[in-house]
Structure 1
Amino acid sequence: MKKTTSVFSISIVIAIMFIIWGTIPESSLPRYHLNAVSGAVHTFLIDKFGWFYLLSASLFLAFSLFLIFSRYGNIRLGRDGEEPEYSYMTWFAMLFSAGMGIGLVFWGVAEPVSHYYTPPTGEEATAEAARLAMRYSFFHWGLHPWAIYGVLALALAYFQFRKREAGVISRTLRPLLGARTEGGLGVAIDTLAVYATIFGVATSLGLGAIQISGGLHQLFPNISNSISTQLLIIVVVTALFMLSAQTGLNKGIKWLSNINIALALLLMLFMLFAGPTNFIMDVFTSTIGTYLQNLPSMSFRLNPFEQNDWPKVWTIFYWAWWIAWAPFVGTFIARISRGRTIREFMIGVLVVPTIFSALWFSVFGGSALYLEQFQHAGIGEVMNEKGVETALFFTFEHFPFAPLLSGIAILLICTFFVTSADSATFVLGMQTTNGSLNPPNSVKFVWGIIQSAAATILLWTGGLQALQTASIIAAFPFAIIMILIVLSLIRSFQEEVTRKAKKPIQ
């Protein structure tokens, strides 16, 4: 533990305090319970600053696109001439597994079906509702979230590998804040990043356990979809990701990420060719077009003249969630992106995951909407009765080899689950050891235990939703930090290009 910084001890104290707060019975503190306080703060931020989240996310996307076509695109994230550490396939697999893998499995069917029955505009369960459902699924999992991740990851990789700064978020602001990044202000910024990471990942551990439990119950009715099953799943998965975490980045995470992509492609290709193939590809093609065509209007849609909170419930919630997750995913993407140019990095981070997400929603969401619209399968009713975690497995029942598909999906969720948690312990280790590229196993072990303990205790006491809300609250101040990071990057890029231009030709 000698390598840890003050961020480590401060973050542990904060984590323990929040866990204890969440376990206190709501009847004991009706007005000051974690659920009540976090819910009130979150509602205030969404109601008063929803516009800020939309503008911030769109700013990050515009900046990312600008970098691809600008003269800064040739700058390398490392020394000039340095080669990338990982192949394209491994790089894509690792960044995708840490970023959204488990979320796509969870929401691949559930989100389009939810939008189909509660569309942003118009009547429910119509052809237009289906088109909007697919378009907004593409929107929520497409360019905007990956731009949020990409901006922070770029800043971390640039300042750590090219400018030789410590690989923590506060140091990306040195061009603006100077030496203050090494003092109390820097500690506060890094602690905020750790806070968002701990509770965001702990929430995902709980939600992942809920979906695995639901899938096991669907596959084996004798296994109850209960809290005891979910807690047992967390214990087993914790043991697996702690074992993986001890093997390091180039073994556990790398191997599991490649397995994740292989399983995901296998499942997606089977669903594509076993299902309504032409319909699915038509959905993909037409929705890509309408998504790009309507991207500007969707990016700034808030419905101020309508009594419709749909953008707050879905889009603004998503943008806040992605910003809260940016410290975790951004730090991990930065760690695996050494040696790439800014243009190569941004194209890879924006385009490849967006296309894969669009294909995923076209295959799974498109198949579900086909079943709902033309065969009246009742997926929406099942979601209302048994929970959104069962939507995917109920959809499989309308395909050949349904038990096998459910088994592969459960295995995929487990591997994504392990990879995300493993990546999180790695990132938390980096953030609390002054950016160490290979944090000590003891530090990763401590963070793994804290994450699992938070998920277990709050799942047991019903405080998981409060924890998710508490994590999202961190998105508001962190969005401000990210805007400053954009300004810091621009200043540093300009100085580098100017310095190169003045350098005499040898």
Structure 2
Amino acid sequence: MESLVFYISIAVIVAFVVWGGLLPESLSQAADQTLEVITRDFGWFYLLAAFSFLVFALYLAFGKYGQVKLGNDDDEPEYSNLTWFAMLFSSGMGIGLVFWGVAEPLSHYVTPPTGEGQTAEAARQAMRYSFFHWGLQPWAIYTIIALSLAYFQFRKGQKGLISATFYPLLGEKVKGPLGKLIDILAIIATAFGVATSLGLGVLQINGGLTHLTGIANTTTTQIIIIAVVTVLYLLSATTGLDRGIKLLSNTNLILAFSLLVFTLLVGPTSFIFDTYTTTLGNYVQNLIQMSLRLTPFTEGTWVANWTLFYWAWWIAWAPFVGTFIARVSKGRTIREFVLGVMLIPSLFSFLWFAVFGGTGLYQEIFMGAHLAEIVQTDVTRPLFVMLENLPLGSILAGIATLLIITFFITSADSATFVLGMLSSNGDLHPSNKVKVIWGILQSVVAIVLLISGGLEGLQTASIVTALPFAVILAAMCFSIMKALQEEEKERKRGERALRKKLEALLDEQ
């Protein structure tokens, strides 16, 4: 039985699709105006929120609640550390990392946040900000929502819904209109966050096919790619091919890791390690300054185009990734959970950018590969051109394209499940009808965004839809804090009662 949340969420997204399909220019103009207002008036909120989530997550890990289990006190983790790390690793890997691995450092190298482009200092900033955008803050955002879902689901016996995490603040109201509004906002943010990733994936697949076969890089081609891949992931989503998806996920990891290791070994290896080490130091040293950096005196657009887009994208993705991480983390302590979820994927992202971004910058600076020129006209091409400059380059470019396709399928398949679950009152087995509807809708949203604004349209949608959900995430911090404080009070009351009983027994003797 589909819920009211399902129908309202569908109605809102269908209205957006109709608007974008019939009047793409009108949608683009309205989105741009909304984006301008949000980045001008609420950019500070995104930055403060993301930084606060990081501080709060670290407080939970190292504070007095660090030993609280996500489950009953005698629950043990369902997965070994190695398997759990692999799952975090795979949820951290995705289309975005492949898309931006070379393109982002090169883009920052050409247009750095401060100073002149295409200098040694620009290269250092390029790597540092790539680490920043894919490091601790994104994973702190995921940590907050995943921790809240896991705590209330496994320790408090609540449903796996976003609204259920607000029980300490709202009480029984979470079952009423306010709770439903929270779930609707979570679904809409997730749908647009996923559509953004799928849109990026399609652009990159098209870029790879253009590079390998000469297929035209046009919107029509991109729509055809979306249609083909939609059929593939709907087949896997509706036939219950758990083995197939697991096999595909494992294949993703093997392909990604193989591509990473091969590039590391045949690329400028010592340069990559030097870059990784020095950038990690620069990142840690400048973390606070980068986290709170806006440009009110120069009114530059760099922060809005990059940092605000990323923070909004991660917030929009948070219900999707958070639901997955929560499901595989039962039995972990809060300290174990926070450190595992924030550090392991962050360190891997750093390595990915050091290998691919570092190799791209090396080829640009020391080999005259002209990647900086390419990235200014087509951000999908630098990855493939960089790989072509390595031994077995054409094979590597083919593997990279295959990797993006498999990531697309697994991400979309997982997203149809999560959207189905969130819109079916937390049902862990949403009906095929619901999954098909969400599968088609998220692809149609991606098409509408590509038609109305291309890459900029995708970025705009994420920033606009994530704002209300950022407020929900901030409130979630207060909710879990209140729940932990109440649990601590109950524990102390229990200890006092036990102590009194023991004292009474001793007095009787």
TM (norm. structure 1) is: 0.94
Alignment-derived partner of residue 283 in structure 1: 275
Aligned counterpart in structure 1 of residue 3 of structure 2, from 5, 11, 18: 5
Kindly indicate whether the alpha-carbon contact (under 8 Å) linking 2:128 and 2:283 is maintained by their aligned counterparts in 1: yes
CA pair 461-288 structure 1, distance change in 2 beyond 3 A: closer
Alignment-derived partner of residue 30 in structure 1: none
Q: Deviation of residue 196 (structure 1)?
A: 1.1
Q: Deviation of residue 468 (structure 1)?
A: 4.5
Alignment-derived partner of residue 113 in structure 1: 106
Q: Deviation of residue 100 (structure 1)?
A: 4.6
CA distance in 2, matches of 1:319, 1:454: 21
Alignment-derived partner of residue 123 in structure 1: 116
Deviates more, 1:142-151 or 1:320-329: 320-329
Q: Deviation of residue 89 (structure 1)?
A: 4.1
CA distance in 1, matches of 2:221, 2:312: 30
Q: Deviation of residue 81 (structure 1)?
A: 2.2
Alignment-derived partner of residue 505 in structure 2: none
CA distance in 2, matches of 1:411, 1:271: 16
Aligned counterpart in structure 1 of residue 21 of structure 2, from 13, 20, 23: 23
Kindly indicate whether the alpha-carbon contact (under 8 Å) linking 1:97 and 1:416 is maintained by their aligned counterparts in 2: no
Aligned counterpart in structure 2 of residue 196 of structure 1, from 189, 195, 199: 189
CA distance in 2, matches of 1:484, 1:170: 11
CA distance in 1, matches of 2:241, 2:328: 9
CA distance in 1, matches of 2:230, 2:24: 28
Alignment-derived partner of residue 506 in structure 2: none
Alignment-derived partner of residue 362 in structure 2: 370
Moved over 4 A (4+): 247-250, 460-465
Q: Which amino acid aligns with 2:409?
A: V
Alignment-derived partner of residue 331 in structure 2: 339
Kindly indicate whether the alpha-carbon contact (under 8 Å) linking 1:97 and 1:419 is maintained by their aligned counterparts in 2: no
Alignment-derived partner of residue 131 in structure 2: 138
Partner deviation per Cα, 1:262-305 (whole Å, 9 max, x = no partner): 11110000000101100000000111111001111111111333
CA pair 297-464 structure 1, distance change in 2 beyond 3 A: closer
Alignment-derived partner of residue 423 in structure 1: 414
Q: Deviation of residue 241 (structure 1)?
A: 1.5
CA pair 393-467 structure 1, distance change in 2 beyond 3 A: closer
Alignment-derived partner of residue 12 in structure 2: 14
Q: Which amino acid aligns with 2:288?
A: P
Kindly indicate whether the alpha-carbon contact (under 8 Å) linking 1:168 and 1:434 is maintained by their aligned counterparts in 2: yes
CA pair 426-93 structure 1, distance change in 2 beyond 3 A: farther
Partner deviation per Cα, 1:174-209 (whole Å, 9 max, x = no partner): 101112111111111110111111122123222211
* 1:328 partnered with 2:317: no
* 1:311 partnered with 2:330: no
Q: Deviation of residue 329 (structure 1)?
A: 1.7
Q: Which amino acid aligns with 2:21?
A: T
Number of residues of Structure 1 aligned to a counterpart in Structure 2? 497
CA pair 243-86 structure 1, distance change in 2 beyond 3 A: farther
Alignment-derived partner of residue 432 in structure 1: 423
After superposition, residues 11-410 of structure 1 pair within 5 angstroms as 11-26=9-24, 33-221=26-214, 223-246=215-238, 248=240, 251-385=243-377, 387-410=378-401
CA distance in 2, matches of 1:469, 1:457: 13
Kindly indicate whether the alpha-carbon contact (under 8 Å) linking 2:27 and 2:452 is maintained by their aligned counterparts in 1: no
CA pair 350-81 structure 1, distance change in 2 beyond 3 A: same
Deviates more, 1:430-439 or 1:60-69: 430-439
3-state DSSP of counterpart to 2:54? helix
CA pair 96-434 structure 1, distance change in 2 beyond 3 A: farther
3-state DSSP of counterpart to 2:66? helix
CA distance in 2, matches of 1:245, 1:468: 27
Q: Deviation of residue 68 (structure 1)?
A: 1.3
CA distance in 2, matches of 1:418, 1:66: 37
3-state DSSP of counterpart to 1:125? coil
CA pair 449-98 structure 1, distance change in 2 beyond 3 A: farther
Q: Deviation of residue 112 (structure 1)?
A: 0.3
Alignment-derived partner of residue 481 in structure 1: 472
CA distance in 2, matches of 1:249, 1:104: 26
Alignment-derived partner of residue 447 in structure 1: 438
3-state DSSP of counterpart to 1:290? helix
Q: Deviation of residue 322 (structure 1)?
A: 1.4
Q: Deviation of residue 307 (structure 1)?
A: 4.3
3-state DSSP of counterpart to 1:350? helix
CA distance in 1, matches of 2:237, 2:102: 31
Q: Deviation of residue 339 (structure 1)?
A: 2.3
Kindly indicate whether the alpha-carbon contact (under 8 Å) linking 1:95 and 1:332 is maintained by their aligned counterparts in 2: no
Q: Which amino acid aligns with 2:145?
A: L
Which ranges in structure 2 are unaligned for 5 or more consecutive residues? 503-509
Kindly indicate whether the alpha-carbon contact (under 8 Å) linking 1:10 and 1:191 is maintained by their aligned counterparts in 2: yes
Kindly indicate whether the alpha-carbon contact (under 8 Å) linking 1:94 and 1:257 is maintained by their aligned counterparts in 2: no
CA pair 417-88 structure 1, distance change in 2 beyond 3 A: farther
Deviates more, 1:171-180 or 1:195-204: 195-204
Q: Percent identity?
A: 57
Kindly indicate whether the alpha-carbon contact (under 8 Å) linking 1:199 and 1:468 is maintained by their aligned counterparts in 2: no
3-state DSSP of counterpart to 2:381? helix
Q: Deviation of residue 224 (structure 1)?
A: 2.5
Deviates more, 1:272-281 or 1:317-326: 317-326
Q: Which amino acid aligns with 1:348?
A: G
Q: Which amino acid aligns with 2:402?
A: L
Q: Deviation of residue 91 (structure 1)?
A: 3.3
Kindly indicate whether the alpha-carbon contact (under 8 Å) linking 2:143 and 2:322 is maintained by their aligned counterparts in 1: yes
Deviates more, 1:54-63 or 1:95-104: 95-104
Q: Deviation of residue 85 (structure 1)?
A: 3.0
Partner deviation per Cα, 1:187-244 (whole Å, 9 max, x = no partner): 11110111111122123222211211110121122x2223333222212211221222
CA pair 71-256 structure 1, distance change in 2 beyond 3 A: farther
CA distance in 1, matches of 2:100, 2:458: 20
Q: Which amino acid aligns with 2:56?
A: F
CA pair 351-374 structure 1, distance change in 2 beyond 3 A: same
CA distance in 2, matches of 1:328, 1:485: 16
Deviates more, 1:118-127 or 1:473-482: 473-482
Partner deviation per Cα, 1:437-491 (whole Å, 9 max, x = no partner): 2323332222112112222355356577446523421222211111111011111
Which ranges in structure 1 are unaligned for 5 or more consecutive residues? 28-32
CA distance in 2, matches of 1:467, 1:349: 27
* 1:472 partnered with 2:463: yes
CA distance in 1, matches of 2:243, 2:55: 36
Q: Deviation of residue 434 (structure 1)?
A: 1.4
